[in-house]
Chain A
Amino acid sequence: NAGVTQTPKFQVLKTGQSMTLQCAQDMNHNSMYWYRQDPGMGLRLIYYSASEGTTDKGEVPNGYNVSRLNKREFSLRLESAAPSQTSVYFCASSVGAGYGYTFGSGTRLTVV
């Protein structure tokens, strides 16, 4: 099993460019999440999808949009990248509320 797959693994953007981070899970999990991790810090929740067809804001949603394309896929879009969005982005999935998360290996994004 691949678990949670994130693409790309690395990306450099210029300020103002847009991009979409892709995430797919093959564990038939209901819930999916996007977090960002800045140096020396914990993870901050950007958006989550409790189940297919629903999405909700987390702690730091500004500047991002998400799409739960189907049960397997949950994408994160940066419409106009800013240097403050330089971070490592992690996608995760879980069976549902009250269960552990499975994380992807992350996307390291630099905005110059």
Chain B
Amino acid sequence: SQQGEEDPQALSIQEGENATMNCSYKTSINNLQWYRQNSGRGLVHLILIRSNEREKHSGRLRVTLDTSKKSSSLLITASRAADTASYFCATDGMDSSYKLIFGSGTRLLVRP
């Protein structure tokens, strides 16, 4: 089945720096979503970008989508210790937008 794969698997940065995470997927999609998961908690929806969009912003988050390369990136600017979490991309499929398939995630550590 199609799947988003995040890169890197783990990322450690200093507070105030920017964090960039990448996601690649295999087949055509209708939309791609990013989620955050704090340790031991459920996932929280961050942003959704549709296949006809190239860039989207939400606060300190910027998401880009390149459908020709089947890839997306999530940029967190001016990171804070509270941004420490795992970040997952998720893609639907052209056959069914109801089924979101998640990647294995990027673990982000923001050092104070």
Which residues of A are in contact with B by a Cβ distance under 8 Å? 4, 31, 33, 35, 40-45, 48, 50, 56, 58-59, 90, 92, 96-106
Size class of the B contact interface (CB-based, 8 Å): 20 to 34
B43–A48 touching, CB < 8 Å: no
Q: Which residue of A lies closest to B42 (CB)?
A: A103
Question: Which residues of B62-112 have CB atoms within 8 Å of chain A's CB atoms?
Answer: 88, 92, 96-105
Which residues of B are in contact with A by a Cβ distance under 8 Å? 1, 3, 30-31, 33, 35, 41-45, 48, 50, 88, 92, 96-105
Chain A nearest CB, measured from B36 CB (Å): 11
**Contact among A96, A97, A99, A103 with B43 in the assembled complex (CB-CB below 8 Å):** A103
B42–A106 touching, CB < 8 Å: yes
Q: A43-B88, A48-B99 are in contact. Are A100 and B42 (CB under 8 A)?
A: no
